[in-house]
Structure 1
Amino acid sequence: MSTLGYLGLATVATGCVAWTMTAVAKRYDAHFSAPANDVSGSDGGAAAARLPHGVSMTSIALRQGLPEIPVRMRALPLDSRGYPIPYFVARIDGKPDFRVADTEKFATCIYYKRCWICGTQLGQYKAFVIGPTSAVSRTSGEPPCHVECAKFAAQVCPFIVNPRASRRDSGMPVNKQAPAGTMFEHNPGVALVWVTRDSMAVSVRNGVIFRMGEPEQTFWYREGRLANRDEVRAALETGLPALYDLAHDEGEAAVLELDTAVARATRYFPPYSTGAAIAMPN
């Protein structure tokens, strides 16, 4: 056989191997839970960690005690306290105001599927930072994030980490369209990172909320650390009276529906040892 013949066979063999590996990867991805989709990308990776005004993040005093910053967040500027300034934060008179979410960026995150925290393109997995009762309603008042960006926020955000902080003092924006009893109205002391492949933006009377699909992973945090089952249960119980008041106003059918939703939410509680709860197929 000629040299060209051998090269042709080698090319065909390489193509077959590549096709087989791609097919196997797709089958694996379809049957196993979500990975942490925070790998470096062409938009916002470590090599692009330059701030808008040409200042490197490494030249600014990063707040001590923070966990490792996800790769995509390393391009974000820092505030005077040493915290990364999330993508959604609006600027008032040229200064970031953590209490105000930029409406244009809100729309950008929805229509262009960008991360609410780092501002780069989302993958197939979406992570929501929510309160315990949002695990019951399966709704969020804020757009989804990358998994690692969401986990970082759940461990670092002053409003989430410090249950005694008011939302105004902590610098967190208030979404008036968020469901009653969720983290967006009060701090239950526990935050949940809900990882799913499916979500949908839904128009409501005064804005938009997000319906979350079935979770593939859930990460529960309290005061910057992983929460245990008893802490999650106690936090959920603080928000249930408000939900049941609304359900009773709507009638017996609404109460029964809420009972079912609460029971379904408890399936995703962490085990008694702290860690991530991985949703297993039925």
Structure 2
Amino acid sequence: MSHTPQDTVVLPRRMKHLTVDRRGYPVIATVERSPREVNFGSINERRKLALATFDWCAVCGLPFANELRWQTVLEKGPLPSTVVSGEAPVHEVCALYAAQVCPYLFSSRSRLGDEARKGMVREGVVRFAGFEATSAVTVHESGLQPGVYTLHFEHRGQAEEFSYHEADEVRDRFAEALACEEELPVAGGEDVLVRLFNRVDDDGEGDVVTGAALAAGAAFAKDIFKLQGLNAFQGEHYPTVAGLLLRGTEQEIREFSAGARDEAFSAVGPWVLEHGGRFPVPLQRWRTRGESMVSRGRPHPPEGPGRSVAKNAPCPCGSGRKARRCHPAGTSPS
């Protein structure tokens, strides 16, 4: 019997919560998924927004804590002080695992599988750089697809790097990373959000965490509702909730969370309170921008039919989506 890379490469402890697809691949945080199909060739921008907001790894979907943010880079020679990429960053041990298992990374003969790059061969040498911080996340229009907007991650403070031609060149480094791997405990609101975000068995569940990300402050990011796949989230609802979580008192935030029908919305208020104003840099920048956008009056949580219909019923706003995914906390009264 032949063995595939995912059979022979040790799975990092922090990836063991991920669902495994029928071929044995762990379903990483950024890819499109549903109970019927996992599409590793399609990166989901809505999921990237959640990663940026909560400062999670694009492979395991867990927080970075004090670890470096690793990113593939195409530049040759010394890197500039700021590096911008359309890919979300990952932990080092997750990057090293992917280098040995991902069909598009482990071999110099690999062909890229997404529609935009179909038929292209992987770079001969893959270069990863580790950065101290993600300094900003912004929305940009694609240069290849006019009218399509995607997230770009800006990194500063390069601290380390590694490169390889074939996957076996990183095995020793991977073994060292496994030996030094630290637990990344999550608790409270973050534990709920991580669990919901990484599910595969409920179609679209990750979209609920996208809504929670908007509520935490991503709704204030410039051009955020132009982002690919965010049409269903447009309207005044999410900025209203974000305003509550920005300016509301602790009691108001807790009351909102207790009354929210959706589990992700129930968790995001506690997540905001647990962080006590110490947010990931991109989110803090969005929330600072929100300070000038939110009315000086006391914000109120949305009310209306979205909070009284069954969670699996069509949303009253007319989007065609289920109420729990479209307006989980309700729609503003007309």
The normalised TM-score by structure 1 is 0.48
TM-score (normalised: structure 2): 0.41
For the pair shown, the structure with the greater C-alpha radius of gyration is 1
